[in-house]
């Protein structure tokens, strides 16, 4: 009796056992480190939770109305939109261009592929510090200012100048450098999947190599890859924190510009603010926005739809 | 697919990290615990001081306490965030130093009332830094050492340009402009242009406060807008050094000749002296307006006891022993490694090192013109004010309008914290 019960529990060929051995740690980690904090955060968002994770002072939707009425938070959403508007097209275009160039190489392709991919292995923190302290520092011996000096231009305090907003140049280029290589590899995989017969047929039909072939063969054939790349880029932009924090924060806080939602919430909930209720409300709002955007985007692009 | 793989790796990494952390937390601090075997354990946290020798010193003090096995944790990184998170759990410190405690920590019952520890010595503690540690007549932390900030100026550069050390805000603005050349800027107020480090100091220099003694907004006054508006001029005239490799707390920009004047901490004084010899002077933030007076900020790290301490009485006894009774250790800690002013008036007045030259002047500024951040100035108010100041200085926003919105937010914060008490 007992042995049949155990056997049934283990499943045919111990399949249940193996299922849980492989999936168990993952499920456990996901529950412990993702779902429990997520649910707790939703719970906290309905309380006045200053400096506590077990609050007693229920405030209903007050945190939500406070957050939505907070111009610093809504401003951070605008910051995010601006950042996305820069970084997504820029990374898309650069990584596609790199992929097209590397794909045409007849020799040393592996070398260039590795070279362009290499920055992906660099940490955001390290890259941000190099950008901040040696390339784009505001004094005369910074790399960018040295170059400007050759042309007789004045030195620029890249991260501190708000008019014009030079800090965007620093923020966008560091991420561009870090992530373009990764998306280049995705595009390369996409390019190599395009059947050579299509190009042959196009040549027979008299299509000029170059723009015409790219416009009518390569680009449409990359649709699935493009959709995935854009989706990933937008999600990554939403998660932006490291380079912003390391480029712009100092010991006394963070300037009121170029402050994306995660940075603002970090200061509200985890910095000196320790207003965990308000921060959680902001996180829930942000999560809802990300969910809606992702679903709409996936529908729009037809992610997962069968390719014809 | 790639998302879920990343999640899996993330979760795996998280598990591995937890294991590593658990192992790290379990280990001892490397001190031999022979003398303290069998004694109750007290965990004490310090933030990482930059000066060599400080860590060894605090471990030595801890070792000398005979009634408990005090284990010191020396914590680099974002110390305020670390303690705030640790105070939510049982595994936090028993005794910890804190740049506060904040009003929310006191109201939330996270720290223990230490009033009785100071009883006989209370009058010997500098009242300016004791005040922000006092709430409703009770003291919540024992001040350890006083830190202050001041304006360093390069005498030779001022002489070369025929500029007098500025005694008013207008003079400071003119001097900064005069001293700016192609390669050297006039003034360094931090890479953000000033809002972070200056905080309430310009308001103090205009004769105002952040929060008044009766708990009202202290800068709802046209003078505030006028003074803060002047700071914009420094930025607009390109007199400010921005984007230096190290920030205001490090005197490097000043000693390397990137700027003729710099706002920095008292802690920078030994370095400045070593690099420049006598070629520098110090000033408080210059006064502005008819009711103004020079101003410097003062603040103190304090020793506090966590409300979740395993043995609160023992933790309190230890704090009393180290930060009230053992004045020899307090003197050693304040003066031997870094450069701080002892929190005890009796120690500060007898310290020879704090009498001569620039150090003596700095101590005088701190005594005569020192302003500590009021306890009621909460983090939400500070953020609103700092954001507004940044928009005024860098964006040229209207100071009056910006300040009105800060006053509104501060009033709301004051109402919130008063409601709780």
Q: Where are the domains of chain B?
A: 32-147+298-371, 149-296+375-420
pLDDT of residue B5: 52
Q: For Cα atoms B294, B256, B152, give the angle at the middle one, nearest 5 degrees.
A: 10
Q: For the segment B302-338, what is each residue's pLDDT rounded down to a tens digit?
A: 999 999 999 999 999 999 999 999 999 999 999 888 7
Within this chain, domains B32-147+298-371 and B149-296+375-420 share the same CATH topology? yes
What does the block give as tokens for A6?
């155990």
Contact A160 B390 (CB under 8 A): no
Please give the structure tokens belonging to residue B98.
Answer: 């804190």
- Interface contact A256-B387, CB threshold 8 A: yes
* Average pLDDT of the residues in A263-275: 86
The answer, for A69 touching chain B at a CB cutoff of 8 Å, is no
Predicted ipTM?
Answer: 0.82
Cβ–Cβ < 8 Å for B171, B130: no
Residues B190/A250, Cβ–Cβ less than 8 Å: yes
Would you identify the CATH topology of the domain B32-147+298-371?
Answer: D-Maltodextrin-Binding Protein; domain 2 (3.40.190)
Q: What is the pLDDT along chain B (421 residues), one digit of tens a residue?
A: 344 555 554 444 444 444 444 444 444 444 444 577 788 999 999 999 888 889 999 999 999 999 999 999 999 888 988 898 899 888 899 999 999 899 999 998 999 999 999 988 899 999 999 999 999 999 999 999 999 999 999 999 999 999 999 999 999 999 999 999 988 999 999 999 999 999 999 999 999 999 999 999 999 999 999 999 999 999 999 999 998 888 999 999 999 999 999 999 998 998 999 999 999 999 999 999 989 999 999 999 999 999 999 999 999 999 999 999 999 999 999 988 878 999 998 998 888 888 888 889 998 999 899 999 999 999 999 999 999 999 999 989 999 999 999 999 999 999 999 987 6
E strands, chain A, where? none
Q: Are B322 and B161 in contact (CB under 8 A)?
A: no
Instruction: Return the pLDDT at B229.
Output: 94
| Rounded alpha-carbon distances, angstroms, from residue A13 to A4, A17, A26, B149 | 13, 9, 22, 73
Residue A272 has pLDDT above 80, yes or no: no
Domains of chain A (ranges, CATH numbers): 65-301 (1.10.3720.10)
Name the nearest CA neighbour of A227 among A306, A308, A298.
A298
**Cα(A261)–Cα(B144) distance, rounded to whole angstroms?**
37
- Asked if B395's CB is within 8 angstroms of A270's CB, the reply is no
Percent of chain B at pLDDT > 70 equals: 92
pLDDT at A306 (0 to 100): 58
User: Could you report the per-residue pLDDT of B83-97, keeping only the tens digit for each?
Assistant: 988 998 888 999 999
Identify the pLDDT of residue B14: 46
Is residue A190 within 8 angstroms of chain B, CB to CB? no
A271 neighbourhood in chain B, CB within 8 Å: 80-81, 379
Question: How many other CB atoms sit within 10 Å of the CB of residue A190?
Answer: 21
Task: Determine whether the interchain pair A250/B190 forms a contact, defined as Cβ–Cβ distance below 8 Å.
Answer: yes
**Among A11-15, A183-187, A234-238, B114-118, whose mean pLDDT is lowest?**
A11-15
Does B22 or A92 have the greater pLDDT score? A92
Give helix then strand counts, H and E, for chain A: 16, 0
3-state secondary structure at position A143: helix
What is the structure's pLDDT at B351? 86
| Contact: A137, B244; criterion CB under 8 Å | yes
Per-range mean pLDDT, top range of A135-139, A172-176, B1-5, B18-22: A172-176
B12 has a chain A CB within 8 A of its CB: yes
User: Is residue A307 predicted with pLDDT exceeding 80?
Assistant: no
B394 touches A: beta carbon within 8 Å: yes
Residue of higher predicted confidence among B11 and A53: A53
Decide which of A102 and A300 is more confident: A102
Q: Rounded to whole angstroms, how far apart are CA atoms B4 and B1?
A: 5
Domain B149-296+375-420: CATH architecture, name and number where available = 3-Layer(aba) Sandwich (3.40)
- Give yes or no for residue A130 having a pLDDT over 50: yes
* Interfacial A residues in 210-229 facing B (CB < 8 Å): none
Q: Does B214 touch chain A (CB under 8 A)?
A: no
Q: What is the pLDDT of residue A301?
A: 77
What is the predicted pLDDT for the residue at A73?
Answer: 93
pLDDT at B352 (0 to 100): 84
What's the length of chain A?
308
Whether A53 sits inside 8 A of B88 (CB atoms) is: yes
Q: Which of A168, A173, A183 is nearest to A83 (CA)?
A: A168
| Residue B251 · residue B271 · CB < 8 Å | yes
């Amino acid at each position: 009796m007992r042995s049949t019960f155990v056997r049934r529990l283990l499943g045919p060929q111990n399949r249940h056992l193996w299922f849980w051995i492989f999936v168990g740690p993952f499920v456990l980690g996901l529950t412990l480190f993702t779902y429990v904090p997520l649910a707790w955060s939703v719970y906290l968002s309905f309380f006045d939770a200053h400096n506590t994770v077990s609050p007693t002072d229920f405030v209903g939707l007050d945190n939500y109305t406070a957050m939505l009425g907070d111009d610093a938070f809504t401003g951070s959403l605008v910051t995010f939109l601006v950042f996305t508007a820069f970084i997504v097209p820029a990374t898309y275009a650069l990584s596609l261009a790199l992929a097209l160039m590397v794909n045409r190489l007849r020799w040393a392709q592996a070398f260039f592929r590795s070279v362009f991919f290499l920055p992906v292995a660099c940490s955001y923190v390290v890259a941000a510090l190099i950008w901040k302290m040696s390339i784009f520092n505001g004094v005369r011996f910074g790399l960018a200012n040295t170059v400007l000096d050759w042309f007789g231009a004045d030195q620029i305090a890249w991260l501190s100048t708000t008019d014009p907003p030079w800090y965007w140049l620093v923020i966008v280029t560091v991420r561009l450098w870090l992530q373009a290589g990764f998306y280049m590899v995705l595009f390369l995989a996409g390019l190599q999947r395009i059947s050579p017969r299509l190009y042959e047929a196009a040549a027979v039909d008299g299509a000029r190599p170059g723009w015409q072939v790219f416009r009518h063969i390569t680009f449409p054939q990359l649709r699935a890859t493009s959709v995935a790349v854009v989706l990933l880029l937008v999600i990554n932009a939403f998660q932006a924190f490291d380079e912003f924090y390391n480029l712009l924060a100092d010991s006394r806080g963070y300037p009121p510009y170029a402050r994306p939602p995660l940075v603002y919430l970090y200061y509200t909930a985890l910095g000196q603010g320790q207003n965990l209720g308000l921060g959680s409300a902001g996180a829930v709002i942000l999560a809802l926005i990300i969910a809606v955007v992702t679903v709409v985007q996936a529908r729009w692009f037809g992610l997962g739809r069968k390719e014809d | 697919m790639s998302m879920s793989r990343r999640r899996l790796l993330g979760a795996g990494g998280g598990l591995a990290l937890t294991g590593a952390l658990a192992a790290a937390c379990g280990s001892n601090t490397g001190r031999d615990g022979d003398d303290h075997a069998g004694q109750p354990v007290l965990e004490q946290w310090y933030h990482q001081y930059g000066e060599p020798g400080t860590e060894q010193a605090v471990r030595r003090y801890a070792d000398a306490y005979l009634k408990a096995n005090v284990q010191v944790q020396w914590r680099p990184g974002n110390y305020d965030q670390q303690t705030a998170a640790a105070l939510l759990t049982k595994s936090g410190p028993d005794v910890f130093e804190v740049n506060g405690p904040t009003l929310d920590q006191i109201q939330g019952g996270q720290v223990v009332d230490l009033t009785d520890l100071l009883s006989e010595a209370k009058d010997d503690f500098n009242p300016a830094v004791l005040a922000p540690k006092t709430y409703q007549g009770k003291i919540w932390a024992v001040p350890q050492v006083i830190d202050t900030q001041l304006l360093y100026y390069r005498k030779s550069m001022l002489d070369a340009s025929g500029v007098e050390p500025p005694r008013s805000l207008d003079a400071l603005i003119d001097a900064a402009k005069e001293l700016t050349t192609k390669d050297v800027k006039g003034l360094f107020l931090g890479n953000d242009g000033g809002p972070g480090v200056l905080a309430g100091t310009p308001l103090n220099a205009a004769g105002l406060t952040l929060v008044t003694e009766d708990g009202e907004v202290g800068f709802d006054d046209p003078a505030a807008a006028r003074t803060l508006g002047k700071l914009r001029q420094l930025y607009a005239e390109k007199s400010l050094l921005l984007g230096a490799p190290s920030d205001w707390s490090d005197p490097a920009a000043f000693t390397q000749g990137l700027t003729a004047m710099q706002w920095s901490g008292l802690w920078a004084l030994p370095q400045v002296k070593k690099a420049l010899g006598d070629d520098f002077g110090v000033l408080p933030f210059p006064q502005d307006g008819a009711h103004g007076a020079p101003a410097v900020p003062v603040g103190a790290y304090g020793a506090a006891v966590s409300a979740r301490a395993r043995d609160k009485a023992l933790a309190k006894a230890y704090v009393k022993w180290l930060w009230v009774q053992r004045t020899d250790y307090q003197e050693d800690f304040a003066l031997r490694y870094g450069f701080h002013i002892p929190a005890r008036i009796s120690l500060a007045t007898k310290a020879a090192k704090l009498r001569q030259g620039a150090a003596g002047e700095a101590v005088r500024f701190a005594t005569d013109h020192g302003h500590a951040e009021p306890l009621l100035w909460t983090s939400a108010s500070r953020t609103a004010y700092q954001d507004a100041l940044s928009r005024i200085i860098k964006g040229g926003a209207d100071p009056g309008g910006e300040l009105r919105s800060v006053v509104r937010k501060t009033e709301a914060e004051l109402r919130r914290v008063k409601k709780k008490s």
